[in-house]
Structure 1
Amino acid sequence: MSRRRRRNTGLKIILFIVIVCVTTGVIYWKMEPVTDKIRNIVNEKSSIPFTENTIEESAVATQYYYQQLSEDEKIVYKEILQGVQEEQGEIYLHTTAADRVGAVYTSVIYDFPELFWCTGEASTTSYNDYSVMQPLYACTGETREQMKAGIEQAADVCISGMDPNAGTYDKVKYIYEYIVNTTDYDINAEYSQNIYSVLVNKVSVCAGYSRTMQYLLQKCGIEGMYVTGVINETMEAHAWNIVNCDGGYYQVDVTWGDPVFLQQEEDTAQPESNINYDYLCCTDSEIYKTHTVDTEVVFPACTSMAYNYYILNGMYYDTFDADICLNAMNDTIYSGGPQTVFKFANDEVYHQAHDMIINDLLQRAAQNLLQNYGLMQTNSSYIDDPQMDKIVIMWSYQ
């Protein structure tokens, strides 16, 4: 019994010495194995190479996708944003939810169209108390800087042609027309998912069109969101925008404004100057005739028609009046205009007008064209769009 007591007493003394060592800072060589173990545990946690985040809240607070995240996800968002800005190969994140890292990264990409070097692809590995994301970059280093310089120069050229005193709608319309007039739709375009394809290469697809629209809007101080969904008829993935125009939200699909895109999709000849304005500042009810938005994020309702292009330009018809429609065609002919556009308020008005315009009024207006220009024959044509309740008459003066 006495031996056991001596062993117990010795244990108490050792524990006391350890306590004294820790509290006084005095280190005894007999305790080194214990203190080394403690030190290794501390170093293991502190060795996770988290980057000190320097992203200010003011830099992200107004970004739409950022606003949809939880507080914990917002921390990860900032870590990812800083990581890809610095081209980090491994980004250490304060989260173990690997399944949410991809969604947060997508939010970053959707909020910042200028991150053209980010493909949006990444692999993520989660550990006990952190995750590591490895993003895939389309370009890095000197190549990225050269491409960035090309983008900024092209953006400056675009904006230099804009009236600095123009209102918000006129700026939106200018950017819409600029992209349509300077870009060709090409499914095989290089860098087609980012703004470089549009601003520098001048060929792209919907992702490039929409991200460029968003990028140029943001450079003009206009809120623009990148929206994803599908085309109803084909269920193919598609991208477009929602724009804040003087406090009201509007749908904008600049890709579908491009006659090159329309010609490829519909396999019908489209005049190069025939920009489609159906998707410039339209409502939800208009765009959802042809588009379906993804449901992961709730977007602002787009219900205002205050900036409907056809209303603003006297091409919108709530009712059908044959004389008014004939006068519209005659006015176009007398002024030498290239086309007369009839945008009807709904299917009912469109069907009331359709046969009369195509089978009667067009012929009468064509006769006026012959007489006014001394032509032997006319070469007018029309585009009939029942889905969007629109008829476009195109006039030839040769």
Structure 2
Amino acid sequence: MKILQNIASGILGLIFAGVVAILACIINPDIGVWINELIRPEDKVEAPVQDDSKKYYVEVPDWDYIYGRKQNSEDVDVDGSSNASTALGDMITSAVNGLSDAINELEATEVSNPAEQDVTVEDVANTANAIVNAVTGNGDKGIKVIVKDEDEDSEAEELSKAQDNQEQTPAYTPGIPAGRSSYAAFDPEIIELTDPGLAKQAINSADYGQLGDGLTFDTQFYPYYHMLNDTGKALYRQIYANTLALNTTFRPIEQVSMDTMQMVLLSVVFDHPELFWLDTTFYQEYDYNGVALKLRLRYYDRIPDIPTANQKFLANANAIVAGASGLSDNYEKELYIHNYLADKLTYKHNPLDQSAYSAIVGDNTVCAGYAKAFQYLMQRLGVPTYLCVGSAGEMHAWNIIKLGDNYYNVDCTWDDQNPTVYDYFNLSDADNYMHKRMFNSVYLPACNEGTFIASIN
């Protein structure tokens, strides 16, 4: 009876969590986006094993890590929606772990005739999977209760892994630091206007602000600008000019779709790490019939006096650049900045960790801060260096640098170990196989030459 009560409590908990999630999404659609990002089976929490022949475990996300990605610092304000999300995550985890306990208790129960049991271990697992998948809407990507033989096909699995390694692993196999991928892309809030009157009101409530007429961007240093067509370039100049002028709300000079608008915004962010006050995790768009009518950007609240912060940013950057400017060639300058950041920085989340400011003025940041600081400092030294964004287990940022006529991948974040390593320093795309480009980063120059490392003292 106790076993069945545990199973029932776990299943009811999952159903209740699903109802809460649905109601929360109705009240605030943004929570739906959050849940969709959140429910991913990246880490395993293993339940106690009561049997020598089988292994029962529950796959759940690492909730604490996901919360910590944006709220790991004690001085970060946590709003009500974040608390609600935390409660929902804890509720789901608790319910699933209850099922895990029930599974193992059921397995430990000795029954003379297993065929007469009302419920089997496999029945519980299958039911839990079905309910979780229904709640999360993610199919086989949701939380899962898994039952398998511990030794099942182990030899075949090892052989398969060995074959995969022979076929897929390049000759260069650097170490992979754990938990070093925390790039946060834009999460747009789209306000869809269906009434023509509201659409006209949105248009009339904002002007174009700064147009950026006459601005030019060198192909060698601003590749994302030159990936755009003429319409996109006009929007890029407008967004750049308004961000520089600290205008947050304006009407787009060109009418484009939501996807195009996000691509243009990403292009500005990827090209210009010096716009560190722009919160690159959020923007708001008023949309009518698939066309963006009004745009609202967000600047970091943690930087209340942007002009003063910019003076400090430039002063710190000038001092760093001065230390490398007298070196003999671009490679020596690159090595200096790479090592300077590795010595200065500690990988740690903070409210400004998606900005170059966190790395040039501050001492704590994540991959976005490392990559944007490296990009900005190298470009100040006259070396074409680009921000590259993609996947490396999770969303990640690194750089592509031009040395001579060739391009190479550089990941200062993953090289910042104790002591500093050069495992991800000037790699070809083939050797940088753990990094997969995304968004418009796929159009950056290919890194086809072999890994390049000169003498390192």
Does 2:230 align with 1:71? yes
Structure 2 distance, partners of 1:221, 1:169, is 12
How far does residue 293 in structure 1 lie from its aligned partner after superposition?
1.6
Q: What's the counterpart of residue 203 of structure 1? A: 364
Q: What's the counterpart of residue 455 of structure 2? A: 313
Structure 2 distance, partners of 1:118, 1:47, is 22
- Could you list the runs of 4 or more consecutive aligned residues of structure 1 that deviate by over 3 angstroms after TM superposition? 45-48, 59-62, 126-130, 139-142
Larger radius of gyration: 1
For 1:86-235, what aligned pairs fall within 5 Å after superposition? Answer: 86-99=245-258, 100-120=260-280, 121-126=282-287, 131-139=293-301, 143-186=305-348, 188-231=349-392, 235=393
Q: Give the secondary-structure state (helix, strand or coil) at the position aligned to 1:249.
A: strand
Instruction: Pick one of 215, 239, 244 that aligns with 1:85.
Output: 244
Does 2:451 align with 1:301? no
How far does residue 98 in structure 1 lie from its aligned partner after superposition?
3.7
Structure 1 distance, partners of 2:414, 2:380, is 23
How far does residue 52 in structure 1 lie from its aligned partner after superposition?
5.2
Query: Are the counterparts in 2 of residues 94 and 130 from structure 1 also a CA contact under 8 Å?
Result: no
Structure 2 distance, partners of 1:51, 1:146, is 23
1:45-94 Cα shifts (integer Å, max 9, x gaps): 99972235234342365411111111111111111111111111212112
How far does residue 295 in structure 1 lie from its aligned partner after superposition?
5.3
Query: Are the counterparts in 2 of residues 228 and 237 from structure 1 also a CA contact under 8 Å?
Result: yes
1:170-229 Cα shifts (integer Å, max 9, x gaps): 11111111100111111x223100011111111100000000000101111111111111
Which structure is higher in RCO with an 8 Å CA cutoff and minimum separation 6?
Answer: 2
TM-score (norm 1): 0.58
Structure 1 distance, partners of 2:207, 2:341, is 43
TM-score (norm 2): 0.51
CA RMSD between the two structures: 2.6
Query: Are the counterparts in 2 of residues 190 and 204 from structure 1 also a CA contact under 8 Å?
Result: no
Could you tell me the percent identity over the aligned residues? 26
Does 2:405 align with 1:247? yes
How far does residue 97 in structure 1 lie from its aligned partner after superposition?
2.1
Say if 1:130 and 1:291 are closer, same or farther in 2 by CA, change over 3 A.
closer
Say if 1:178 and 1:71 are closer, same or farther in 2 by CA, change over 3 A.
same
Structure 1 distance, partners of 2:249, 2:347, is 35
Does 2:292 align with 1:292? no
Query: Are the counterparts in 1 of residues 285 and 292 from structure 2 also a CA contact under 8 Å?
Result: no
Structure 1 distance, partners of 2:366, 2:303, is 26
Say if 1:248 and 1:130 are closer, same or farther in 2 by CA, change over 3 A.
same
Structure 1 distance, partners of 2:292, 2:345, is 43
